[in-house]
């Protein structure tokens, strides 16, 4: 057993506090990682507060993890000393059709994919079979000093990226890269990004590097200059997340893809009207019932309203390499773990620019208290 330390919440209304726990020693095919940095994704906040209704407590978040391999079998994919990353998934059934086709993030096995924290996922199939293929009741994520992960789910961090700026690519980067790639964004396309936070700022940088002309839709007037500095050609500002068609100056029927990263239920009808024929609005933010879409606006132009969930392991390595090649990093504010509760409040108020990343070395301060 490995004696580990992390920050966890005990209830939906509690602050994250230091928690000592044990991790299993690495089994064949697994690597042990010393966590160096971990990004703070808005999903961590949803999960800690049980906003998706599936949180298992204690809840130790963290799925934008960069660390150093401290134990690995000889001849494996990763060596001791390698700088590696771990994103939202640490395993999947590896047998279902999506897994065989390299779409582990859409795993249809009895427990779906194994989440880095708050896993295994409870799927409708599990409810039917009662089976838990992972043999684990809960997983603890990257707000901790050590992880043990199957080597296929461990990514290589390119040398060109600094560890703290690479961390948000493991979720915010791949969650935006995957739909941009899937929907075939190409040079000259017009791409809209709704919500300029952790995901949104990576979407702007990646879409720009793919050659797209990017428009940012933001509710924060003070983000206009920042959006332009990130590479947005146009910035549209509304007061509410539900944009009113009359407030938007963008021309209807001119966008090739719009990504919504807004973390709450909102009305997307004003954005649907901006899409060209056959093009899609992809919702990657809110994971909840949304306001109704007027299907007249969808059907008349064969548009789609779609969703997308993180990205596969293959896409995660691809986006890391893409970012290294194009000189893209995340704009981060590094914090000690002792500031995590205040940082989460600031994220909810939209005050972060654009991702908090925890320096896990600061966990050492809590070691003595925990031992």
Query: Which residues in this chain contact ligand NAP in the complex, by CB under 6 A?
Result: 41-43, 46, 171-172, 175, 195-200, 218-220, 223, 241, 261-264, 284-286, 308-310, 347-348, 350
Q: CA-CA distance, 327 to 335, in Å (whole number)?
A: 23
Nearer to ligand NAP among residue 84 and residue 193 (C-beta): 193
Q: Are 35 and 142 a contacting pair, CB within 8 Å?
A: yes
Q: How far is the CB of 26 from ligand NAP (least distance, A)?
A: 27
Pick one of 9, 35, 40, 99: the residue that binds Zn ion (CB under 5 A).
99
Return the H-helix or E-strand segment holding 343.
Answer: helix 340-348
Distance CA 342, CA 292 (A): 35
The binder of 219, among ligand NAP, Zn ion, none, by C-beta within 5 to 8 A per type, is ligand NAP
111 binds Zn ion (CB under 5 A): no
- How many Å apart are CA 198 and CA 78, to the nearest integer? 29
Out of 8, 40, 41, 358, which residue is the one contacting Zn ion (CB under 5 A)? 41
Which residue's CB is nearer to Zn ion, number 7 or number 255? 7
Q: 265 or 301, CB closer to ligand NAP?
A: 265
Distance CA 275, CA 349 (A): 29
CB 180 within 8 A of CB 192: no
116 versus 145: smaller Cβ distance to ligand NAP: 116
Those residues with Cβ within 8 angstroms of residue 345's Cβ, 6 or more apart along the chain or in another chain: none
d(CA 223, CA 52): 28
Residues 113-132, interacting with Zn ion (CB under 5 A): none
d(CA 199, CA 205): 10
C-alpha distances out from residue 210 to 35, 186, 190, 242, 275, Å: 31, 6, 11, 28, 19
CB of 273 to ligand NAP, least distance (A): 19
Among Zn ion, ligand NAP, none, the one that 42 touches (CB under a kind-dependent 5 to 8 A) is: ligand NAP
Closest CA to 109 of 170, 100, 312: 100
Residue with tokens 């908090």: 356
DSSP string, 182-195: HTT--TT-EEEEE-
Sites for Zn ion among residues 66-95 (CB under 5 A): 92-93
**Closer CB to Zn ion, 182 or 234, in the complex:** 182
- Piece in contact with Zn ion (CB under 5 A), picked from 13-21, 34-42, 124-132, 300-308: 34-42
What's the closest the beta carbon of residue 200 comes to Zn ion, in angstroms? 13
Q: Give the range of 168-176, 178-186, 287-295, 334-342 binding Zn ion by CB under 5 A.
A: 168-176
The nearer residue to ligand NAP, 172 or 280, going by C-beta atoms, is 172
Q: Which of 107, 191, 230, 262 binds Zn ion (CB under 5 A)?
A: 107
Binding site for Zn ion (CB under 5 A): 41, 43, 92-93, 96, 99, 107, 109, 171
């Amino acid at each position: 057993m490995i004696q580990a330390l992390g920050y966890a919440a005990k209830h939906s209304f509690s602050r994250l506090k230091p928690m000592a726990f044990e991790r299993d020693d690495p089994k064949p095919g697994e690597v042990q990682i010393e966590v160096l940095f971990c990004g703070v994704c808005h999903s961590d906040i949803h999960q800690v507060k049980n906003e998706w209704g599936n949180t298992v407590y204690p809840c130790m978040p963290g799925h934008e993890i960069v660390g150093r391999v401290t134990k690995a079998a000889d001849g494996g994919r990763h060596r001791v000393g390698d700088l590696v990353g771990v994103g939202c998934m640490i395993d999947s059934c590896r047998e279902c059709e999506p897994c065989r086709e390299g779409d582990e993030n859409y795993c249809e096995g009895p427990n779906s994919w194994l989440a880095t924290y708050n896993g295994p996922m409870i799927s409708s199939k599990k409810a039917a079979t009662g089976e838990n293929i992972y043999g684990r009741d809960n997983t603890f994520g990257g707000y901790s000093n050590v992880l043990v992960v199957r080597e296929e789910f461990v990514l290589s961090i390119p040398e060109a990226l600094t560890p703290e700026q690479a961390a948000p690519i493991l979720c915010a980067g791949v969650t935006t890269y995957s739909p941009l790639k899937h929907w075939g964004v190409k040079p000259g396309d017009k791409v809209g990004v709704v919500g300029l936070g952790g995901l949104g700022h990576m979407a702007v940088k990646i879409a720009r590097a793919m050659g797209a002309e990017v428009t940012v839709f933001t509710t924060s007037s003070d983000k206009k200059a920042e959006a332009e500095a990130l590479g947005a050609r146009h910035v549209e500002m509304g007061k509410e997340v539900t944009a009113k068609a009359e407030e938007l100056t963008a021309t209807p029927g001119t966008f090739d893809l719009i990504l919504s990263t807004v973390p709450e239920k909102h009305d997307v009808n004003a954005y649907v009207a901006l899409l060209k024929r056959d093009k899609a609005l992809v919702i990657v933010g809110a994971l909840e019932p949304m306001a109704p879409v007027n299907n007249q606006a969808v059907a008349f132009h064969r548009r789609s309203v779609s969703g997308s969930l993180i990205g596969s392991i293959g896409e995660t390595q691809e986006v890391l390499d893409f970012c290294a090649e194009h000189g893209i990093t995340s704009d981060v504010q590094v914090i000690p773990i002792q500031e995590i509760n205040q940082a989460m409040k600031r994220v909810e108020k939209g005050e972060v620019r654009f991702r908090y990343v925890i320096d896990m070395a600061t966990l050492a301060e809590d070691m003595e208290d925990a031992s």
